[in-house]
Amino acid sequence: MSRLVFIVGPTATGKTDVAYNIAKRSGADIVSCDSMLVYREPCIVTAKPDKEILSEVKHHFIDIISVTQEYNVFDYYLSATQKIKEFLSRGKSVIVCGGTGLYMKALLDGLADTPAKDDELRKQLTERARSEGLDVLYEELEKIDSVYAQKISHNDLKRIVRALEVYKLTGKTISEFKPDANNGLWGKYDIDIFAVEYTRDELYDRINKRVDVMFEKGVVDEVKEILKFELSVSAKKIIGIPEIKEYIDWRITFNDCKELMKKNTRNYAKRQLTWFRADKRIKWVENADEVLSRVKV
């Protein structure tokens, strides 16, 4: 009998190893739900699974585009949902593994109407409105969605920002979204969702050690090569790239770069925790072994 299992949670909680071990014993495929693993060029800075793991177990939605290309939740939802349904229809078990909460929710609940807000993107757009002028953002909206622009005031900051946010997240204009929800997977398949829970100190320690290992593996040289590309807006969000660029440009010291990367990763983990704790469908467990014992595929 095919099963669909989600292994989710904050960064550095061992999701990759748990999913790999389940897949090895069950023959399941792994579908990544990590918005940064889609890029081919970064490996160290995105903590991409080792080549051995990728070669032993079939992974999907890893290394599918270049850092020069845009990618969003709508692209992911359409492709990943189709892939999962195809596998399940053939009696194959699937493990969805990753820490991008928006991707997880899209798979489970579909993209009903417009996507959830992106606080960071919204902040960037609001700051642009302040520095460049709201008229600049309104003109940008007119170019991509003249229908919606005509419906709102050119002084309506909230709606202008939201419309641009939706477009940048999904590649679709806000006018294209219909009231009818796109169906998700929840309620249609036998689904279990697990996350390994650590104390804050334990999680922060794991994050700090992971960043140390990244630098030992040569993450600075990797980012130097990545920065030779014209990075897409979504690729620029990879934690580690802006921090290491500051070091490369002699704006901060090596140690400050490393500490800043640790701090920003910890802050990201806090945001992930807030997202995942709000979803009551997730079963929180104490360690990876508990997940392995409870998953029957």
Given a contact cutoff of 8 angstroms between Cβ atoms, the answer to whether 57 and 88 are in contact is no
Q: Can you tell me the distance from the alpha carbon of 176 to that of 189, in angstroms, rounded to the nearest whole number?
A: 29
Neighbours of 185 (CB within 10 A): 21
Q: Are residues 56 and 185 in the same domain?
A: yes
The tokens 């009231």 sit on which residue? 179
Give the CATH number, domain containing residue 139.
1.10.20.140
CA distances from 149 to 155, 162, 223 (A): 11, 12, 39
- Which residues form the domain of 257? 200-271
Q: Are residues 50 and 195 in the same domain?
A: yes
For position 148, what pLDDT does the model report? Answer: 81
Number of domains in the chain: 3
Q: Can you tell me the distance from the alpha carbon of 166 to that of 179, in angstroms, rounded to the nearest whole number?
A: 15
For position 179, what pLDDT does the model report? Answer: 44
DSSP string computed for 178-239: -SSPPP-STTTS-EEEEEE---HHHHHHHHHHHHHHHHHHTHHHHHHHHTTS---TTGGGST
Q: Can you tell me the distance from the alpha carbon of 136 to that of 128, in angstroms, rounded to the nearest whole number?
A: 9
Letter for the amino acid at 293?
S
Hey, is 168 helix, strand or coil? Answer: helix
Q: Are residues 84 and 148 in the same domain?
A: no
Torsion of CA 141, 237, 122, 101, to 10 degrees: 110
Q: Are residues 131 and 106 in the same domain?
A: no
Q: Are residues 220 and 125 in the same domain?
A: no
- With a cut of 50, list the residues of the chain below it in pLDDT: 1, 179-181
Backbone torsions φ then ψ of 33, nearest 5 degrees: -125, 55
Q: Are residues 221 and 148 in the same domain?
A: no
Q: Can you tell me the distance from the alpha carbon of 91 to that of 86, in angstroms, rounded to the nearest whole number?
A: 9
For position 1, what pLDDT does the model report? Answer: 41
Give the CATH number, domain containing residue 79.
3.40.50.300
For position 156, what pLDDT does the model report? Answer: 80
Paired tokens of 64: 């599918």
For position 153, what pLDDT does the model report? Answer: 77
